[in-house]
């Protein structure tokens, strides 16, 4: 048999705690209307038909603290990232400034003039070719210079004396009556040299023309030096 509990029936401890917890959080105001038949006494202790709350003030506090900790850690992470980025940017700005300063310093630095290469020693000018008169005096003088360079002995007087006897100074003179002429090899030029002798005693650097005055004199003097020791020793036909 069910008995009706009055509004002033004492509540068990568990219900007291639940009601007190709800009141403490301020989340809701619970009005308990006690009416006849609202409570049943199946046991010695009557129970109020109120379902206990699934959360408490302590549980809410822990959850809020977790969220705060997460936000704090996130903010700290962002701050570290910002600080690292600022350090990297500052280093990049410093390097860029140093590079620009170095470039400006290089631009302002005067260009050092390279020492001029030592001038190559000037080649000695070739000695001017000696000029000789185109006459007997000049022909003998030129022939003597060539003979001395070749080491062939002769003198101006010995050459001129034999020229005057052989051709009287005519470079185109030719003997067409002596034995050489009879044999087909007449004597020619200033010192009356036959062709075979001229070719055999020709002096390098002179003309191969037997009538050339200088070539004729040097070949004749070369022959006289070989046969008589010098043109100076020739006083007749030779």
- Could you report the per-residue pLDDT of 191-213, keeping only the tens digit for each? 999 999 999 999 999 999 999 99
Percent of the chain, pLDDT > 70? 68
**Which domain range does residue 176 map to?**
136-233
Residues 167 and 220 in one domain: yes
Residue in 232, 234, 233, 204 with CA at minimum distance from that of residue 219: 204
Mean pLDDT of the region 161-175: 97
Residue 138's pLDDT band (cuts 50, 70, 90):
very high
How is the chain split among helix, strand and coil, in percent rounded to 5? 50, 0, 45
Is residue 130, in this structure, part of any structural domain at all?
no
Among 221, 213, 219, smallest CA distance to 171 is for: 213
Q: DSSP H helical segments within 51-178, as ranges?
A: 57-108, 136-150, 156-166
Nearest alpha carbon to residue 147 among 225, 69, 77: 225
Measured CA to CA, the distance from residue 41 to residue 156 in angstroms comes to: 176
In a domain, 122, yes or no: no
Residue 57's alpha-carbon distances to 19, 51, 103, in angstroms, are: 13, 17, 69
Dihedral over Cα of 191, 197, 198, 203: its sign: negative
Per-residue pLDDT tens over the stretch 104-137: 766 555 556 677 777 777 777 777 788 999 999 9
- How does the average pLDDT of the chain come out, rounded? 76
Judge if 156 and 200 occupy the same domain: yes
CATH number, domain of 221, equals 1.10.530.10
Do 22 and 32 form a contact (C-beta atoms < 8 A)? Answer: no
Residue burial 47-56, b: 16+ Cβ < 10 Å; e: rest: ebeeeeeeeb
pLDDT computed for residue 204 by the predictor: 96
Residue 125 resides in a domain: no
Q: How many CB atoms lie within 10 A of CB 76?
A: 10
pTM over 0.75: no
- Pair 32, 68: CB distance under 8 Å: no
Residues 68, 145 within the same domain: no
Length of the chain: 238
């Amino acid at each position: 048999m069910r008995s009706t509990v009055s509004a002033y029936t004492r509540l068990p401890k568990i219900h007291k705690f639940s009601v007190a917890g709800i009141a403490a959080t301020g989340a809701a105001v619970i009005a308990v209307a006690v009416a006849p038949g609202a409570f049943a006494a199946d046991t010695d202790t009557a129970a109020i038909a109120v379902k206990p709350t699934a959360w408490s003030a302590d549980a809410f506090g822990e959850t809020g603290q977790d969220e705060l900790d997460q936000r704090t850690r996130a903010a700290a992470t962002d701050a570290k990232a910002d600080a690292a980025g600022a350090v990297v940017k500052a280093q990049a700005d410093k390097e860029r400034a140093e590079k620009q300063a170095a470039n400006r310093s290089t631009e302002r630095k005067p260009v050092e003039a390279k020492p001029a290469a030592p001038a190559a020693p000037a080649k000695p000018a070739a000695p001017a070719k000696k000029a000789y008169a185109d006459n007997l005096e000049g022909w003998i003088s030129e022939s003597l210079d060539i003979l001395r360079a070749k080491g062939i002995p002769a003198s101006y007087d010995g050459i001129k004396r034999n020229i005057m006897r052989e051709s009287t100074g005519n470079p185109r003179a030719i003997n067409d009556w002596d034995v050489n002429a009879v044999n087909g090899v007449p004597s020619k030029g200033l010192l009356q040299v036959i062709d075979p002798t001229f070719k055999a005693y020709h002096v390098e650097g002179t003309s191969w023309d037997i009538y050339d005055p200088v070539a004729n004199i040097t070949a004749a003097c070369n022959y006289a030096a070989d046969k008589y020791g010098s043109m100076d020793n020739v006083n007749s036909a030779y």
